[in-house]
């Protein structure tokens, strides 16, 4: 790991526990009421009896209690055998003098000794306390003796959402579900950033690169990540150098790379020298290049762009070793670390779990849904091949490096984009299929059609106008209104639907409450997101994490699609405001503090049309998108700013300071209008 330059780790929230239960004579169970990463303190008043000097009070932390609600469930197995989330407090004897030799204890002005752990954090909802049976009656804790704290890197919040007051019960329900979803994203993200991005705050606490790249958009639209990601990128580079002393461009699957997977004999699960030669699967190894790209562009930090420019190029050369030189695409040669934990086969369409994925029936959830930790396809691998080349070429242009350096990478990018449709587009179904991966489900797992289609749409490579319709059909019909995506596809699914003009289907998924869905997770508690969607699979009940950020990538959807705030180019000098409006809400908005200042976008329905308010920072320009609510041409709309006409009869009207131009887009029907504005605050009203 490298030196800490990000904000310090501290207690950010005080939580009053909800209950304390004496489960058996010598054991008590504290319920914090929600999942947190942090710890609890215990007050030992001096005027109460206490166990004899040297008595051990064992504290165990976990996310679940067993069926009789008596003890914490130890289903969350640590990577190192026996390394549970356990603390032992040793009583010092006469409490009027405080425990002797108990690290973390301190005297209070209220004649009590307070024990608070140091140099550690736990991921938990429940804390079990156990005394030796012979001393059970010597301590009688009360709920008021406990105070708990959420602990994480104190990242500065830069994003804020706003909802217009609902006008009916349906809007009220949609808004409540969206807020609950977003609150869970925030709690889960906070719990998984303690110095570096982790997958979960308990079982592993490891910096898996796949989880980091999937959740990065959520972090970047909520918090200032400039220092945090600068530090983490150096950690990843350091881990690469340590694991690959030969100086190749490969990356291990996690950083800091501080432990070996317990199943070290399994090359699929263990970082090895092969990572140096061919890197780990692209959804994981690409995190370095993608987060680097998003970070330096958000902060307009050319120093950061230059710092990792050569290493990013080395990575492109490493992954290109696995590219088919004839087609330009990357096949599904990896058999793990793909669309991790995708939920497939609702209503039994996935067939037998063991036959189709090689996993035992414990991986079967409600409605016959089956999941595995595979779901690998050449579609996904080629997506990351394309994205990382695009990212490096942006840095090349911004740094004004010699054109000759970029020539071969531009050729590879063009070949990959062309090959994507040549190899994977299926003309008959108008969908994208990796036939080699589909033919070998036990090796590669089932492939989510939603993920495949969303990736094609996100890159703008869809070869047919019917691809977006096929995506909606898969969601609404094949999956009966549910998602089938995992770590990769979840990041892009809602975005692809909204960009295709189908924000309502995206909201259906966001507010869905039956398994598999975010709503189902949150209905079960405890306020955070799970490791995967299939809550009733026995494997999940036994070992699954209830505080995992990898399925929390939808946080950016609120900002980038519902409010429409999108960065174009680098450093927020050029902004696109393209809100995806829906009658499911009365209005919606978001504000984002950028390197240039505050960017804001909000919309609300009116009796005759809608309003859009926008704020653009100094030294920036923005393109503001107006949409026709139906198939009616935008030419029929009258648009004013501050009561002054800027669009009427299909013609832009100059005269309002800062409103520079307007032009029809969306084909011959002119269904959309782009309005170009300079810095300033604007209040537009569009009436049909």
Predicted pLDDT of residue 668: 75
From 422, 442, 443, select the one nearest 433 (Cα to Cα): 422
Q: 272 pLDDT exceeds 50?
A: no
Q: List phi, psi (to 5°) of 601.
A: -150, 130
User: Span 296-315, mean pLDDT?
Assistant: 96
Predicted pLDDT of residue 106: 56
Strand partners, 594: 597
How far, in Å, are 483, 546, 648 from residue 532 at the CA level?
12, 9, 50
Consecutive H or E run containing 504: helix 503-511
As annotated, the residues of the chain forming the CATH 2.60.420.10 domain(s) are 563-687
- The region of weakest confidence among 86-100, 168-182, 430-444 is 86-100
User: Span 367-381, mean pLDDT?
Assistant: 74
How far, in Å, are 238, 470, 677 from residue 497 at the CA level?
38, 11, 27
| Alpha-carbon span 79 to 81, nearest angstrom | 6
| Alpha-carbon span 446 to 554, nearest angstrom | 23
Which residues neighbour 400 within 8 Å (Cβ) at sequence distance 6 or greater?
none
Cα torsion through 402, 407, 408, 413, rounded to 10: 120
Q: List phi, psi (to 5°) of 552.
A: -110, 20
Predicted pLDDT of residue 226: 97
Q: pLDDT (tens digit, 9 = 90+) per residue, 92-146?
A: 865 543 333 344 555 555 688 999 998 899 999 999 999 999 998 889 999 999 9
| Alpha-carbon span 531 to 551, nearest angstrom | 7
Q: 537 pLDDT exceeds 80?
A: no
CA 150 from centre of chain? 19
Consecutive H or E run containing 274: helix 273-278
Strand partners, 129: 28, 59
User: Span 370-396, mean pLDDT?
Assistant: 90
Predicted pLDDT of residue 8: 93
User: Span 614-636, mean pLDDT?
Assistant: 93
Residue indicated by tokens 């032009």: 663
For 524, other C-beta atoms within 10 Å of its C-beta total: 12
Predicted pLDDT of residue 349: 41
Q: pLDDT (tens digit, 9 = 90+) per residue, 174-228?
A: 999 999 999 999 999 999 999 999 999 988 888 999 999 999 999 999 999 999 9
Residue indicated by tokens 């320009």: 621
As annotated, the residues of the chain forming the CATH 2.60.120.260 domain(s) are 9-153
In CATH, what number does 195-222+276-551 get? 1.50.10.10
Q: pLDDT (tens digit, 9 = 90+) per residue, 447-480?
A: 899 999 999 999 999 989 899 999 999 999 999 9
Query: pTM here?
Result: 0.91
Strand partners, 122: 38
| Alpha-carbon span 92 to 655, nearest angstrom | 79
| Alpha-carbon span 240 to 217, nearest angstrom | 23
Q: 271 pLDDT exceeds 50?
A: no
Q: 68 pLDDT exceeds 90?
A: no
SS3 content of the chain, % helix, strand, coil (to 5): 35, 25, 40
Q: 267 pLDDT exceeds 70?
A: no
- The region of weakest confidence among 81-85, 192-196, 199-203, 650-654 is 81-85
Joined together, the tokens standing for residue 587 give 């209005």
240 or 485: whose pLDDT is higher? Answer: 485
CATH 3.20.20.100 fits 563-687, yes or no: no
How far, in Å, are 308, 513, 558, 582 from residue 510 at the CA level?
36, 9, 11, 14
Report the share of the chain in percent with pLDDT over 90.
67
From 370, 372, 325, 378, select the one nearest 350 (Cα to Cα): 370
Alpha helices (runs of H) in 146-271, residue ranges in sequence order: 169-191, 209-220, 226-243
Q: Is 49:135 a contact under the CB 8 Å cutoff?
A: no
Q: pLDDT (tens digit, 9 = 90+) per residue, 333-346?
A: 776 788 988 887 54
Q: How many CA atoms lie within 13 A of 576 on its CB side?
A: 15
277 or 412: whose pLDDT is higher? Answer: 412
- The region of weakest confidence among 83-87, 105-109, 195-199, 282-286 is 105-109
For 687, other C-beta atoms within 10 Å of its C-beta total: 14
Domain 9-153 adopts which CATH fold? Answer: Jelly Rolls (2.60.120)
Q: 487 pLDDT exceeds 70?
A: yes
Predicted pLDDT of residue 110: 62
Q: 34 pLDDT exceeds 90?
A: yes
Joined together, the tokens standing for residue 540 give 């999940």
User: Span 77-104, mean pLDDT?
Assistant: 60
| Alpha-carbon span 46 to 680, nearest angstrom | 62
| Alpha-carbon span 396 to 270, nearest angstrom | 33
pLDDT band at 575 (very low <50, low <70, confident <90, very high): very high
Predicted pLDDT of residue 542: 56
What beta strand segments (E) does 4-94 contain?
A: 9-15, 19-24, 27-45, 56-62, 86-90
């Amino acid at each position: 790991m490298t030196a800490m330059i990000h904000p310090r780790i501290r207690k950010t929230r005080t939580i009053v526990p909800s209950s304390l239960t004496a489960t058996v004579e010598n054991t008590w169970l504290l319920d914090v009421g929600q999942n947190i990463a942090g710890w609890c303190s215990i007050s030992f008043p001096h005027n109460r009896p206490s166990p004899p000097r040297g008595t051990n009070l064992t504290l165990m932390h976990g996310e679940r209690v067993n069926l009789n609600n008596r003890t914490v469930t130890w289903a969350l197995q640590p990577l190192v055998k026996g390394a549970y989330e356990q603390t032992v407090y040793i009583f010092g004897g006469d409490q009027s003098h405080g425990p002797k030799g108990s690290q973390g204890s301190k005297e209070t002005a209220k004649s009590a000794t307070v024990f608070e752990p140091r140099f550690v954090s736990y991921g938990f909802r429940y804390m079990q306390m156990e005394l030796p049976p012979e001393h059970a009656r010597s301590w009688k804790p009360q709920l008021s003796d406990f105070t708990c704290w959420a602990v994480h890197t104190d990242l500065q919040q830069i994003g804020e959402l706003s909802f217009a007051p609902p006008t009916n019960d349906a809007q009220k329900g949609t808004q409540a579900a969206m807020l609950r979803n977003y609150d869970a994203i925030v709690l889960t993200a906070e719990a998984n950033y303690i110095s570096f991005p982790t997958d979960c705050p308990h079982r592993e606490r490891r910096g898996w690169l796949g989880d980091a790249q999937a959740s990065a958009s959520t972090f970047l639209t909520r918090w200032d990540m400039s220092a945090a990601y600068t530090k983490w990128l150096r950690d990843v580079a350091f881990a690469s150098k340590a694991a690959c002393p030969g100086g190749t461009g490969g990356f291990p699957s996690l950083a800091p790379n501080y432990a070996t997977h317990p199943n070290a004999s399994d090359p699929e699960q263990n970082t090895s020298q092969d990572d140096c030669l061919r890197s780990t699967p692209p959804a994981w190894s690409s995190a370095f290049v993608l987060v680097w790209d998003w970070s330096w562009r958000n902060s307009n930090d050319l120093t950061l762009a230059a710092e990792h420019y050569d290493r990013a190029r080395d990575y492109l050369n490493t992954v290109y070793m696995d590219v088919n030189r004839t087609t330009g695409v990357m096949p599904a040669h990896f058999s793990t670390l793909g669309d991790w934990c995708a939920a497939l086969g609702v209503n039994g369409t996935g067939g037998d779990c063991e036959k189709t994925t090689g996993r035992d029936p414990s991986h079967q959830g409600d409605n016959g849904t089956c999941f595995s930790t595979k779901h690998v396809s050449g579609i996904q691998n080629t997506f990351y091949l394309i994205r990382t080349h695009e990212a490096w070429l942006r840095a090349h242009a911004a740094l004004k490096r010699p054109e000759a350096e970029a020539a071969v990478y531009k050729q590879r990018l063009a070949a990959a984009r062309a090959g994507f449709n040549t190899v994977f587009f299926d003309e008959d179904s108008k969908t994208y299929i990796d036939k080699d991966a589909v033919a070998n489900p036990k090796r590669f797992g089932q492939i989510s059609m939603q993920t495949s289609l969303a990736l094609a749409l996100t890159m703008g490579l869809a070869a047919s106008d019917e691809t977006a319709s096929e995506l909606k059909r898969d969601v609404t019909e094949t999956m009966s209104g549910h998602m089938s995506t995992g770590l990769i596809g979840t990041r892009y699914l809602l975005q692809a639907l909204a960009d295709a003009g189908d924000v309502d289907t995206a909201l259906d998924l966001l507010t869905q409450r039956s398994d598999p869905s975010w709503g189902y997770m949150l209905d079960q508690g405890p306020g955070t997101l799970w490791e995967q969607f299939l809550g009733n699979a026995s494997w999940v009940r036994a070992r699954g994490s209830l505080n995992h950020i990898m399925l929390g990538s939808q946080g950016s959807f609120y900002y980038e699609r519902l409010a429409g705030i999108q960065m174009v180019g680098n450093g927020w000098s050029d902004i696109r405001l393209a809100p995806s409006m829906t009658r499911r809400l009365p209005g919606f908005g978001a504000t984002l503090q950028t390197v240039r200042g505050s960017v804001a976008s909000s919309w609300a329905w009116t009796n005759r049309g809608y309003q859009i308010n926008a704020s653009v920072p100094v030294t920036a320009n923005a393109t503001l998108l107006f949409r026709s609510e139906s198939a009616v041409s935008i030419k029929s709309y009258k648009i004013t700013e501050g009561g002054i006409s800027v669009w009427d009869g299909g013609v832009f009207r100059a005269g309002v300071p800062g409103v520079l131009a307007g032009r029809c887009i969306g084909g011959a029907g002119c269904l959309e209008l782009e309005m170009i504005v300079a810095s300033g605050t604007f209040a537009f009203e569009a009436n049909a």
